[in-house]
Amino acid sequence: MQCIPSLDRARCGSFGRCGRLPTKAKLISRGIIPVEDHFCAFGCGAVESAQHVFLSCTFSGSLWSLISSWIGSSLVTAQTLSEHFVQFTISAGGTRARRSFMQLIWLACVWVVWTERNHRLFRGSAVSSLHMLDKIKMFSYRWLKATRSSLALNCHSWWSSPMLCLGFV
């Protein structure tokens, strides 16, 4: 099994600086949107911040739970994005290939959550957490196929058991 291409640490680390994301809390503090528009785009009723959108919102929390079930890892309960990234990355074991795989999944999840948040805000559209999980599966599958064409990945196998598909079990 070839090692999954390592993701650039700078890109991974940049998600730890999510204070730079234009969440509603940031937009309010800059006077861009009114104070009454501070609620989470996922409809949970909490104030929208980066930590909330990606980790503590009930909607994104259910997505992390689905991801953990899909890949067969334990659920990470860290409360900061940087801690979550580190704990999630090591939750499947210590080999470099496993850590790279987990980084890929984490980044795909964060990307899907943020784009879904933007679709809800700016397009008025919404999809379920199961649909978001499918997007994460598809993005990660396509990324691996594009970067390692020699990997014998079957989409159906990937959908059901990515760890087995990559030879990690």
Q: Is residue 10 part of a domain?
A: no
What is the reported pLDDT for 134?
A: 97
Burial 111-139 (b: 16+ CB within 10 A, else e): ebbbebbeebeeeeeeeebeebbebbbeb
Q: How much of the chain is in helix, strand and coil states, percent to nearest 5? A: 65, 0, 35
Contacts 24+ apart (CB under 8 A), 34-39: none
Q: Is residue 2 part of a domain?
A: no
> Which amino acid belongs to residue 29?
S
Domain boundaries, position 99: 36-166
Q: Is residue 118 part of a domain?
A: yes
> For 108-144, what is each residue's pLDDT tens digit?
999 999 999 989 988 889 999 999 999 999 999 999 8
What's the pTM value of the predicted model, to 2 decimals?
0.83
Question: What are the distances in angstroms from CA 142 to CA 2, 28, 76, 135, 159?
Answer: 16, 37, 25, 10, 12
Q: Is residue 87 part of a domain?
A: yes
> For 22-56, what is each residue's pLDDT tens digit?
777 777 788 877 777 778 989 999 988 889 999 99
Which two three-digit tokens encode residue 52?
A: 């909330």
What is the reported pLDDT for 135?
A: 97
Q: Is residue 151 part of a domain?
A: yes
What is the reported pLDDT for 61?
A: 92
